[in-house]
């Protein structure tokens, strides 16, 4: 097999009209990451070293989000979104004719590196000019259809331009292809906006290849990898599939998830074995949860958090940007923001940290073995010493430093016992 240099080009300059959003389509959130993050991740996993992203004038924000997220990305601007062929044409200056070009839309977050590797190996083995990824869908609506004659791909027809019979074809275009660069750019320069949308369609390259007698083939993959996110329904469908994959990975670590249907866990979350996650729990961000914990039901953990082993985070507890030590127990109706809890801390029901004064967020430190009485308000910054106790309903004022072993109570909390 001749190994050519493969360069990925990600198309992300479209307006994303169907999302009806001010945010660029590929930046919409899927399990805690922008759509395009997953495309970049799988491209990297498939061993592609060079990536070019085509971005529009209005979605420069993409640069900030993805620059250096996985590997160095070169950005090329498409000034006006005149269609997928026009978008890809903008990359011409960046590519050599001996390269192979892997094209991916930025809105196909469910594609996997395994499928990309299969695409690459078929393309190289068969020495094709174009190998595309297709899928058979029971409901192919809205996708471009793969038109074959005697089993050979001859063109791709977009939904809007397809005839009644063509619309019945179940094999659809994923928008992912591997091209011989020279053949691609030759054909791209001949694509015309001769369709209902008056756009330059990348899919027209296929019929131009057919006319030239160039070799075209496809690999077919499951439906749940090719889903293109165009509107909000697509986004929620993709969310469900991606969530399933994230939970799969967590199950594999020896974690019980009582009700996957009501458990939302974002992509970066890590959970240790023998932890049980109860229903209606939402965990989003860079979060590490230890072994043997009990989380939920109705728990919300977000921001960057680390939770030690054997911790209980119970009903209606919200935890944000906290570090929580081993054996801590925060069982009911509490809000902890920007806290450091050392080990063996018991947080009584209804404890609230007042961590935001309207201008800045401040930290609360609770030392080992402290006991926070029910309904305590901790006005940050505050420090509760080792084995100290706050009485039920105490309000611990800002900058208060409760000493080791001290017992405080009341509003504002006063010392009622200096140490044990
Ligand atoms: C495209 C394919 C269709 C395929 C589907 C798979 C074409 C003409 N159609 O349709 O056959 O079934 O993907 O999901 O290619 N973009 C630009 N600049 C533009 C227009 C689009 O960069 O001028 C980008 C978009 O940001 C998007 C990608 O190209 O990431 C695909 O564009 P989109 O409008 O979503 O194409 P589809 O209608 O889904
Ligand atoms: Ca699309």
Pocket test for ligand 1, best of 37, 105, 153, 174 (most atoms within 8 A of CB): 105
**Residue 62 belongs to domain with CATH number:** 3.90.550.10
Residue at a domain's end among 203, 226, 249: 226
Q: Look at residue 1 and tell me if it is in a domain.
A: no
Same domain, 215 and 290: no
Q: Look at residue 371 and tell me if it is in a domain.
A: yes
Q: Residue 34 forms beta bridges with which residues? A: 29
Q: Which SS3 state, helix, strand or coil, does residue 109 take?
A: coil
Mean pLDDT of 124-133: 98
Same domain, 117 and 249: no
In ligand 1, which atom is closest to the CA atom of 83?
23
Q: Which ligand has the minimum distance to the alpha carbon of residue 175?
A: 1
Percent of the chain with pLDDT over 70: 99
230 CA from centroid of ligand 2 (Å): 5
pLDDT of residue 65: 80
Q: Look at residue 93 and tell me if it is in a domain.
A: yes
Supply the residue whose CA is at minimum distance from atom 14 of ligand 1: 228
pLDDT in tens, 360-371: 999 999 999 999
Pocket test for ligand 1, best of 52, 153, 161, 228 (most atoms within 8 A of CB): 228
Residues carrying an active site annotation = 332
pLDDT at 384 over 90: yes
59 CA from centroid of ligand 2 (Å): 16
pLDDT of residue 420: 60
Q: Look at residue 89 and tell me if it is in a domain.
A: yes
Q: Which SS3 state, helix, strand or coil, does residue 226 take?
A: helix
For residue 150, what are its two tokens? 């005697």
Q: Look at residue 170 and tell me if it is in a domain.
A: yes
Same domain, 275 and 196: no
Residue at a domain's end among 200, 226, 252: 226
pLDDT of residue 63: 84
pLDDT in tens, 283-295: 999 999 999 999 9
pLDDT in tens, 194-236: 999 999 999 999 999 999 999 999 999 999 999 999 999 999 9
Same domain, 311 and 401: yes
In ligand 1, which atom is closest to the CA atom of 230?
35
C-alpha–C-alpha distance, residues 25 and 185, integer Å: 26
Same domain, 238 and 340: yes
Q: Is the peptide bond before 412 cis (omega within 30 degrees of 0)?
A: yes
Q: Look at residue 25 and tell me if it is in a domain.
A: yes
Residue at a domain's end among 187, 204, 226: 226
Q: Is the CB of 230 under 6 A from ligand 1?
A: yes
Please report which confidence band the pLDDT of residue 387 belongs to, taking 50, 70 and 90 as the band edges: very high
Domain count, the chain: 2
Which residues neighbour ligand 2 (ion) by CB within 5 Å? 107, 228, 230
Supply the residue whose CA is at minimum distance from atom 22 of ligand 1: 13
Q: Which SS3 state, helix, strand or coil, does residue 232 take?
A: helix
What are the residues whose beta carbons fall under 8 Å from the beta carbon of 201, sequence distance 6 or more?
Answer: 83, 84, 85, 158, 191, 193, 195
- The chain-wide mean pLDDT, for the chain, equals 96
**Residue 410 belongs to domain with CATH number:** 2.160.10.10
Mean pLDDT of 305-331: 98
Which residue range forms the structural domain that includes residue 284? Answer: 232-417
Same domain, 169 and 244: no
Instruction: Determine which helix (DSSP H) or strand (DSSP E) holds 166, and give its type and residue range.
Output: helix 164-167
pLDDT in tens, 34-65: 999 999 999 999 999 999 999 998 777 788 88
Mean pLDDT of 351-377: 98
For residue 189, what are its two tokens? 């320069």
pTM, to two decimals: 0.95
pLDDT at 67 over 80: no
Q: Which ligand has the minimum distance to the alpha carbon of residue 229?
A: 2
DSSP assignment string, 344-412: T-EE-TT-EEE-B-SS-B--EEE-TT-EEPTT-EEESSEEE-TT-EE-TT-EE-TT-EEPTT-EEETTT
Burial class (CB in 10 A: 0-12, 13-18, 19+), 263: buried
CB 333 within 8 A of CB 354: no
C-alpha–C-alpha distance, residues 162 and 146, integer Å: 11
Mean pLDDT of 387-401: 98
Q: Residue 27 forms beta bridges with which residues? A: none
Tell me, rounded to whole angstroms, the distance of Cα 171 from its chain centroid.
27
Q: Look at residue 81 and tell me if it is in a domain.
A: yes
Q: Look at residue 26 and tell me if it is in a domain.
A: yes
Rounded to 5 degrees, φ, ψ at 304 are -90, 115
22 CA from centroid of ligand 2 (Å): 17
Same domain, 184 and 270: no
pLDDT at 98 over 60: yes
Same domain, 207 and 68: yes
In ligand 1, which atom is closest to the CA atom of 25?
26
Same domain, 222 and 236: no
pLDDT of residue 219: 98
257 CA from centroid of ligand 2 (Å): 33
Same domain, 138 and 280: no
In ligand 1, which atom is closest to the CA atom of 200?
8
Same domain, 218 and 254: no
Same domain, 260 and 285: yes
User: Considering only CA atoms, which of 394, 338, 348 is closest in space to residue 370?
Assistant: 348
pLDDT in tens, 159-191: 999 999 999 999 999 999 999 999 999 999 999
C-alpha–C-alpha distance, residues 331 and 310, integer Å: 13
pLDDT of residue 68: 63
Least confident of 67-76, 87-96, 100-109: 67-76
């Amino acid at each position: 097999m001749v190994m050519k240099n493969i360069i990925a080009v990600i198309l992300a300059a479209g307006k994303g009209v169907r999302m009806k959003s001010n945010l660029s389509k590929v930046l919409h959130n899927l399990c805690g990451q922008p759509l395009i993050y997953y495309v970049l991740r799988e491209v990297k996993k498939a061993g592609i070293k060079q990536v070019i992203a085509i971005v529009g004038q209005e979605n420069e924000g993409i640069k900030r989000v993805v620059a250096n997220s996985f590997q160095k990305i070169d950005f090329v601007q498409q000034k006006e979104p005149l269609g997928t062929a026009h978008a890809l044409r903008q990359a011409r200056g960046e590519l050599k004719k001996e390269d192979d070009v892997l094209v991916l839309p930025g809105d196909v977050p469910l594609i996997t590196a395994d499928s990309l590797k299969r695409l690459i190996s078929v393309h190289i083995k068969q020495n094709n000019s174009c190998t595309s990824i297709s899928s058979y869908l029971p409901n192919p609506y809205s996708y471009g259809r793969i038109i074959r004659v005697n089993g050979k791909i001859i063109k791709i027809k977009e939904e809007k331009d397809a005839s009644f019979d063509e619309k019945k074809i179940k094999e659809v275009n994923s928008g992912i292809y591997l091209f011989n660069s020279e053949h691609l750019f030759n054909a791209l320069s001949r694509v015309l906006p001769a369709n209902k949308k008056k756009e330059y369609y990348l899919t027209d390259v296929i019929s131009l290849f057919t006319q030239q007698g160039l070799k075209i083939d496809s690999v077919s993959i499951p439906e749940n990898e090719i889903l293109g996110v165009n509107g909000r329904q697509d986004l929620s469908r993709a969310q469900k599939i991606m969530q399933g994959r994230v939970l799969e990975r967590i199950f594999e670590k020896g974690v019980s998830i009582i009700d996957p249907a009501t458990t939302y866990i974002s992509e970066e979350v890590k959970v240790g074995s023998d932890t049980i996650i109860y229903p209606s729990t939402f965990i989003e961000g860079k979060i590490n949860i230890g072994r043997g914990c009990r989380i939920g039901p109705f728990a919300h953990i977000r921001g960057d958090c680390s939770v030690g082993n054997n911790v209980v985070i119970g009903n209606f507890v919200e935890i944000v940007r906290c570090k929580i030590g081993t054996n801590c127990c925060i069982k009911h109706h509490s809000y902890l923001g920007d806290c450091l809890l050392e080990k063996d801390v018991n947080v009584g029901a209804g404890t609230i940290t007042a961590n935001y004064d309207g201008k800045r967020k401040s930290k609360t430190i609770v030392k080992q073995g402290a006991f926070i009485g029910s309904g305590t308000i901790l006005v940050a910054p505050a420090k509760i010493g080792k084995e100290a106790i706050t009485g039920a309903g105490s309000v611990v004022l800002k900058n208060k430093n409760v000493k080791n072993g001290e017992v405080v109570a009341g509003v504002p909390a006063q010392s009622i016992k200096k140490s044990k």
